[in-house]
Amino acid sequence: MKMIGKQQRDKSLLYLLPAKKSENAKNKANKKRTSDNLPVHSFQTLLDDLATIVKNTISTTIGSKSFVFEKITQPTAIQKRAIDLL
């Protein structure tokens, strides 16, 4: 077994220590809100949230005329932020 010096051993222990969370990260985890006051999402929950943006086909008849049009749902603030970041 090879013996190593105290300084080298102390340095090698740094790789085993968990990373410390910043105050910003701790606040975000506690509040479950971002600094923009938007809800914190995991990647999966963000995808689930984005999946609620849909295109609706609306058809109506007024008198003897039929009309068909499409409307996309209005994105929420967090959906808009995610789309803006793409």
Residue pLDDT, tens place only, 4-54 = 555 555 666 556 667 788 888 887 778 888 878 888 888 999 999 999 999
CA distance 22 to 26: 6
Residue 60 counted as domain residue: yes
- Split into its structural domains, the chain has a count of 1
pLDDT of residue 30: 82
20 lies in which domain range?
A: 6-85
Confidence of residue 80 (pLDDT cuts 50, 70, 90): very high
Mean pLDDT of 54-60: 96
Cα angle at 86 between 40 and 74, to 5 degrees?
70
Record the pTM: 0.57
Residue 1 counted as domain residue: no
Residue 77 counted as domain residue: yes
CA distance 70 to 56: 5
